[in-house]
Amino acid sequence: MFSGVTALTLFDLVVRSMRKNIKHYYLYFFALIFSVTLYFVFATLQHDDSVVARSGGSMGSAFAVAGILLLVIAGIFIIYANAIFLKRRSREIGLYQLIGLSKNKVVRLLMIENVLLSSGALFIGIGVGILVSRLFLLLLMKLIGFDGVISVSFSTTAVVQTIIVFMVIIGLTSIQMLFTVYRNTLLNLFNADKKGEIPKKPKSILSAIVAILGIALVVFGYWLSGRMLNEMLFFNMLAVLASTILGTYLLFRVTIGWVLYKIRASKQGHLGLKNSLSLATLMHRMKGNANSLTIITVLSAMTLTMLAVAYSLYYATEKETRYALPFDYMIEEWAEGHLTDEAISLEQFESELTTAGIDYTKTKLELLAVEGVYEKGIFPAVVGPRQFLANSYIVNASQLQEAGLAVEIPADGTLIYHDALIGKFVKDIETPFEIDVTSSNPTRTFKAVKYGEGDVINASAGSQLVVNENDFEKYKQEMVPESMEDVFEEWIVQTVYALNITDKNDLAQASHIYTQNCDEGRSCGIDYYSMYENSLEGSGLFIFIAGFLGLVFLISTGSILYFKQMTEAEQEKQSYKTLRQLGFSKKEIMRGIVRKQIFVFGLPLAIGLLHSIFAIKSASFLFVSDITVPTTIAMGVYALIYLLFAVLSVGYYKKTVSEAL
Amino acid sequence: MNEQHIKQQSVLHAQNIKKSYGTRGNVQEVLKGINLHVQKGEFVGIMGPSGAGKTTLLNVLATIDRSTAGTILIDGDDISKMKDARLSTFRRDKLGFIFQDYNLLDTLTVKENILLPISLGKVKKKEAETRFNEIAEVLGIANLANKYPHEVSGGQKQRTSAARALINEPSMVFADEPTGALDSKSAASLLKTMEDVNEQRGVTIMLVTHDAIASSYCSRVVFLKDGMIYSELYRGDKTRQAFFQEILKVQGVLGGDSVDSI
Q: Are residues A161 and A48 in the same domain?
A: yes
Q: Are residues A607 and A559 in the same domain?
A: yes
Q: Are residues A22 and A152 in the same domain?
A: yes
Query: Is residue A230 one of the residues assigned to a domain?
Result: no
Are the Cβ atoms of B90 and A270 closer than 8 angstroms?
A: no
Domain edge (last residue) among A162, A195, A228: A195
Mutate to test the interface with B, among A193, A200, A276 (most CBs of B within 10 A): A276
Q: Write down the pTM of the prediction.
A: 0.81
A583 vs B91, B112, B145: nearest CB = B91
Are the Cβ atoms of A584 and B92 closer than 8 angstroms?
A: yes
* pLDDT tens track for B82-97: 888 888 888 888 899 9
| Whole-angstrom distance, CA of residue A450 vs CA of residue A416 | 5
Q: Are residues A408 and A427 in the same domain?
A: yes
Angle CA A276–A278–A282, to nearest 5: 110
Q: Are residues A577 and A608 in the same domain?
A: yes
CA distance B252 to chain A (A): 34
Mutate to test the interface with B, among A191, A572, A577, A584 (most CBs of B within 10 A): A584
What pLDDT does residue A16 have?
Answer: 78
pLDDT in tens, chain B (262 residues): 444 444 457 889 999 999 888 877 788 888 888 999 999 889 999 998 888 888 889 989 988 888 888 999 998 888 888 888 888 888 888 899 998 888 898 889 999 999 988 887 678 888 889 989 988 888 888 898 888 888 898 889 998 998 999 898 888 999 998 888 888 888 888 898 888 888 888 889 999 998 888 999 999 999 998 889 988 999 888 898 999 999 998 888 877 444 443 3
The complex's ipTM works out to 0.86
Q: Write out the residue range of the structural domain in which residue A408 sits.
A: 326-522
Which element (helix H / strand E) includes A20? helix A2-20
Are the Cβ atoms of A582 and B116 closer than 8 angstroms?
A: yes
Q: Are residues A623 and A574 in the same domain?
A: yes
> With an 8 Å Cβ cutoff, is A4 touching chain B?
no
> With an 8 Å Cβ cutoff, is A588 touching chain B?
yes
What pLDDT does residue A609 have?
Answer: 94
Are the Cβ atoms of A583 and B148 closer than 8 angstroms?
A: no
CA distance A102 to chain B (A): 30
Q: Are residues A534 and A578 in the same domain?
A: yes
Query: Is residue A209 one of the residues assigned to a domain?
Result: no
* Burial profile A446-461: b = 16 or more Cβ within 10 angstroms, e = fewer: bebbebbbbbbbbebe
Domain edge (last residue) among A195, A218, A239: A195
* B239 Cβ neighbours under 8 A, 6+ residues apart: none
Query: Is residue A28 one of the residues assigned to a domain?
Result: yes
Q: Are A475 and A465 a contacting pair, CB within 8 Å?
A: no
Angle CA B18–B23–B26, to nearest 5: 85
Query: Is residue A295 one of the residues assigned to a domain?
Result: yes
Q: Are residues A508 and A580 in the same domain?
A: no
CA distance A568 to chain B (A): 13
Are the Cβ atoms of B120 and A271 closer than 8 angstroms?
A: no
3-state secondary structure of B35: strand
> What sections of A492-527 are H helices per DSSP?
507-514
Please identify every stretch of chain A with a pLDDT value under 50, giving residue numbers as ranges.
1-5, 335-337, 523
Fold of B41-66+82-254: Rossmann fold (3.40.50)
| Whole-angstrom distance, CA of residue A398 vs CA of residue B198 | 102
Q: A586-618 and A279-315 are packed helices; what angle lies between their axes, rounded to 10 degrees? A: 40
> With an 8 Å Cβ cutoff, is B116 touching chain A?
yes
* pLDDT tens track for A211-223: 899 999 999 999 9
Query: Is residue A438 one of the residues assigned to a domain?
Result: yes
| Whole-angstrom distance, CA of residue A280 vs CA of residue A264 | 8
Q: Are residues A447 and A316 in the same domain?
A: no
Q: Are residues A167 and A79 in the same domain?
A: yes
Q: How far is CA A147 from CA A150, A503, A545, B260, in A?
A: 9, 20, 19, 80
Query: Is residue A555 one of the residues assigned to a domain?
Result: yes
Q: Are A352 and A517 a contacting pair, CB within 8 Å?
A: no
What pLDDT does residue A638 have?
Answer: 92
Q: Are residues A3 and A52 in the same domain?
A: yes
| Whole-angstrom distance, CA of residue B119 vs CA of residue B142 | 19
What pLDDT does residue A384 have?
Answer: 67
Spatial CA neighbour of A424 closest among A360, A364, A380, A385: A380
Query: Is residue A216 one of the residues assigned to a domain?
Result: no
Are the Cβ atoms of A584 and B88 closer than 8 angstroms?
A: yes
Query: Is residue A463 one of the residues assigned to a domain?
Result: yes
Q: Are residues A19 and A111 in the same domain?
A: yes
What pLDDT does residue A202 have?
Answer: 65
Domain edge (last residue) among A195, A218, A238: A195
Are the Cβ atoms of A270 and B97 closer than 8 angstroms?
A: no
Domain boundaries along the sequence of chain B: 41-66+82-254
